[in-house]
Chain A
């Protein structure tokens, strides 16, 4: 095994940030050095929600590494509370203060009664683990803030594993909400894509639904604490997975999905395909590669292979989750080669060898796509060089048209003269 590693995933801090920043009235304080704060801020800023970036620094300096930065952090918390008036403040304790042994969780006690917002503090030092662990831990951390009101009947479902900073996430959430509502399955809370108050009311739901297996630790903790069952569903890319998404959730609640509605959706998708069927015929068997997070990329690869008929030469999982192992050992693989959290150098060699004409990935695959003269469809985190303002989804029945037009256009719009023979 190599000593050096050019990672496809981020550190624990960014995983935790992605979770906490999804709570739309929570502000995150990065208790770390400049670089950690700058990186975290940019990841949230270079997307399509620039009016809702809520990332502050504690201002930790080199001298604080000698004398402790807890006082500085306290000031930052007070300032965040008074200036931004959030409902929650997430304190993310990065590498340097973790090594220094800063007690950020103890600050909760120290500042008790001083701030109106609730404090959620956690250690997220870089050496402590990858982003997906940070994401899982952050969701789990929220369980202690949740309250079950026994006087109110349970209803609705919670979506866990939603990531508000994914490209087209807003559209995806709207679409998932729509197709569930059409089946009489209202959403209760989205972790994390709700207000803090809604997150706290998550135990009122009837069911926790894990998108692509993300959020398992949180679901288990909620099951234990609130006796709330959970299921894991595929991320609803394409027709088959969208139907599965609805049927599995309905099934878990003992309700059958309305076949008429599903038939209408199917008819709508059919009309979409008809409008550009010659191009759908044209991309059948096209060699492609998928680079993305476990909670999304397995399902995307299956859609591409099973429904569009493309030839998925390589599936590179950039970031795992607790369900990765199970998905790796699934009976029918919709890819030729699978790499789990590979080194970028190794992955690039595999992409070269794959002969993929189209890569589904993040902005960081831009160079290799260009070198291989392949088209790049940005679907995976992080996308920092494309925005989505029209709120068109990738997920669900409506996502099929959007995803397919992106795929086909990414080929049609290429200037052949720029591509060397």
Chain B
């Protein structure tokens, strides 16, 4: 979509949408007890491009079951036609079927883009997907791209990254493009689809005389995707191999908002977060440098910063000295801006250990502690604490607020400790800019005004001592999942999971 259309998307603000998202937040997918496969990632991309159609090259189950959207369980992938593979196709191949399927899909749905998504069945039988797609393209009036899950290595989520790479490689990157000089694309995840999150950033960049070419994903069309190639720079939320490809093939520069690269160069913990007033200033200056707009940027940043700081002064008055327990990972810059006292840092490494090396896990800990010291916080660090250890520390430190998602808030509330859930803030507001700090003040003030002691019905049931948002049965399910999947599994991470002791491990599991 174009930035001038931003005012059209206010309907996405309806509070029920937050609640719909939150009601599924306790379902342990996303590496907790299950990982969605590449197909749903690719479907999420097809779904985010409003006039695109996915075509699943596989049997019916891959089309039916994948209607469940683990990225947003309240939103089903309704159109999932497939090539309906059977045993005969497995033996003789299904390239011809795919070719026919593309033509039929085009005639039936009239899409502007068809994304062919392969499945493990077609990957194993070795269909020549590229050849079938090329042949089909001659017979349809729209681009056809294919995603196999093999284009992006281990970049996660694989299905999303791979489908975006396929779209970039097979459609966006082309020879003749009329450039929109001095412009940038602002790109978030296809699963978020919230251009509003970029509103302030777009306004600041425009004031810096940097044009906004496209903001996606939000009501994004195939034409919008094609137009991405017109910009000078892609600004993405996190690492995206397709943006790297555009840099290589189309000379569209690439800058990601988050990432440890900046920190790694200087080991300066202040560089970890691009958020909050200081982080945003740094990031805006970086964009200005890339776009050659330093002169224009300086007064804009200064003016907006001054205005924001004045508002923040008033907004954060009640928060001064409020003691907060914070999960490692949340931007300490923002907490410094709003004036709270970070009295405890809770570091849960269980799930991290499956995506990061032990060294990286420790580096995150070190960097966050250094940053806390730098900001004058003196937090107690709790690494994978038991519920009792947590409560003991929180009582000792007279904690006013615990940053905790709704799914575990009951645990603290029954003990008379208020909680603040920043999930909606993170989903909808957190970005580069000065307004998120002010908005966070509102979120914290509201939390402090809520009932202190509650008697939640959830406390009638037993939750696991180690993974406190799961019941003991689900905790065992989650830990079994990790055990069976992970190379990095260490029994020691799960002190309470005695059930696994004695289970014979083979080399696949360790």
Distance between Cα atoms of A76 and B120 in the complex (Å): 21
Which of chain A's residues have a CB closer than 8 A to the CB of B97?
3
- Return A195 CB to nearest CB of chain B, in Å: 17
Which of B30-38, B164-172, B301-309 is near enough to bind chain A?
A: B30-38
- Return B135 CB to nearest CB of chain A, in Å: 14
B61 touches A11 (CB 8 A): yes
Other-chain residue from A59, A79, A384 in contact with B500 (beta carbon distance below 8 A): A79
Cβ of B59 under 8 Å from chain A: yes
Distance between Cα atoms of A41 and B55 in the complex (Å): 24
Which of chain A's residues have a CB closer than 8 A to the CB of B120?
32-33, 35, 65, 95-96
Cβ of A400 under 8 Å from chain B: no
Considering only residues 194-209 of chain B, those with a C-beta below 8 Å from chain A are none
Contact with A along B410-448 (1 / 0, CB 8 A): 000000000000000000000000000000000000000
Nearest A-chain residue to B501, judged by Cβ: A82
Known: A95-B59, A95-B119. A364 touches B76 (CB 8 A): yes
Other-chain residue from B34, B63, B508 in contact with A38 (beta carbon distance below 8 A): B34
Known: A33-B37, A34-B36, A75-B504. A127 touches B29 (CB 8 A): no
A interface majority secondary structure:
helix
B82 touches A6 (CB 8 A): yes
B508 touches A78 (CB 8 A): no
A126 touches B508 (CB 8 A): no
A130 touches B509 (CB 8 A): no
Considering only residues 61-109 of chain B, those with a C-beta below 8 Å from chain A are 61-68, 70, 73-74, 76, 78-87, 89-90, 97, 100-101, 104-105, 108-109
- A–B pairs, 11, beta carbons within 8 Å: A3-B100, A5-B63, A11-B64, A11-B65, A35-B36, A36-B61, A38-B40, A41-B33, A42-B68, A42-B73, A368-B78
Which of A50-58, A217-225, A226-234 is near enough to bind chain B?
A: A50-58
Query: Which residues in B have some Cβ–Cβ distance to A below 8 Å?
Result: 27, 29, 33-40, 55, 58-68, 70, 73-74, 76, 78-87, 89-90, 97, 100-101, 104-105, 108-109, 119-121, 124-125, 471, 473-474, 476-477, 480-481, 483-485, 499-500, 502-506, 508-509
Nearest A-chain residue to B473, judged by Cβ: A51
B502 touches A345 (CB 8 A): no
A10 touches B60 (CB 8 A): yes
Question: A42-B68, A56-B480 are known contacts; what are 10 more A-B pairs with Cβ within 8 Å?
Answer: A6-B80, A7-B60, A35-B39, A41-B29, A42-B34, A72-B509, A79-B484, A126-B60, A126-B121, A364-B78
Which of chain B's residues have a CB closer than 8 A to the CB of A61?
485, 508
Nearest B-chain residue to A42, judged by Cβ: B68
- Return B150 CB to nearest CB of chain A, in Å: 10
Other-chain residue from B66, B78, B83, B483 in contact with A35 (beta carbon distance below 8 A): B66
Distance between Cα atoms of A46 and B34 in the complex (Å): 14
Cβ of A37 under 8 Å from chain B: yes
Distance between Cα atoms of A343 and B104 in the complex (Å): 13
B105 touches A41 (CB 8 A): no
Which of chain B's residues have a CB closer than 8 A to the CB of A125?
59, 121
Nearest A-chain residue to B500, judged by Cβ: A83
Known: A34-B36, A38-B29. A78 touches B64 (CB 8 A): no
Known: A7-B64, A14-B65, A79-B483. A127 touches B85 (CB 8 A): yes
B29 touches A57 (CB 8 A): no
Which of chain B's residues have a CB closer than 8 A to the CB of A65?
120, 124
Distance between Cα atoms of A1 and B473 in the complex (Å): 47
B84 touches A7 (CB 8 A): yes
A56 touches B60 (CB 8 A): no
Distance between Cα atoms of A11 and B80 in the complex (Å): 14
A5 touches B61 (CB 8 A): no
- Return B129 CB to nearest CB of chain A, in Å: 15
Query: Which residues in A have some Cβ–Cβ distance to B below 8 Å?
Result: 2-14, 32-43, 45-46, 51, 53, 55-59, 61, 64-65, 71-72, 74-76, 78-80, 82-84, 95-96, 99-100, 125-128, 130-131, 343-345, 363-364, 366-368, 384-385
- Return A353 CB to nearest CB of chain B, in Å: 16
Distance between Cα atoms of A191 and B109 in the complex (Å): 41
A56 touches B484 (CB 8 A): yes
Distance between Cα atoms of A2 and B477 in the complex (Å): 41
Nearest A-chain residue to B40, judged by Cβ: A35
Known: A3-B104, A56-B477, A84-B476. A41 touches B504 (CB 8 A): no
Which of chain A's residues have a CB closer than 8 A to the CB of B27?
42, 45-46
Distance between Cα atoms of A333 and B476 in the complex (Å): 50
Other-chain residue from B33, B85, B477 in contact with A126 (beta carbon distance below 8 A): B85
B125 touches A99 (CB 8 A): yes
B61 touches A12 (CB 8 A): yes
Which of chain A's residues have a CB closer than 8 A to the CB of B502?
82
Distance between Cα atoms of A373 and B59 in the complex (Å): 32
Known: A3-B100, A11-B65, A83-B500. A127 touches B34 (CB 8 A): no
Distance between Cα atoms of A42 and B71 in the complex (Å): 12
Which of chain B's residues have a CB closer than 8 A to the CB of A131?
61
A42 touches B70 (CB 8 A): yes
Which of chain B's residues have a CB closer than 8 A to the CB of A367?
76, 78
B471 touches A4 (CB 8 A): no
A78 touches B29 (CB 8 A): no
A126 touches B29 (CB 8 A): no
Which of chain A's residues have a CB closer than 8 A to the CB of B101?
3-4
- Return A112 CB to nearest CB of chain B, in Å: 16
Nearest A-chain residue to B77, judged by Cβ: A364
Which of chain B's residues have a CB closer than 8 A to the CB of A3?
83-84, 97, 100-101, 104
Which of chain A's residues have a CB closer than 8 A to the CB of B36?
34-35, 38
Other-chain residue from B68, B124, B480 in contact with A80 (beta carbon distance below 8 A): B480
Distance between Cα atoms of A197 and B447 in the complex (Å): 51
B83 touches A83 (CB 8 A): no
Which of chain B's residues have a CB closer than 8 A to the CB of A76?
484
B79 touches A10 (CB 8 A): no
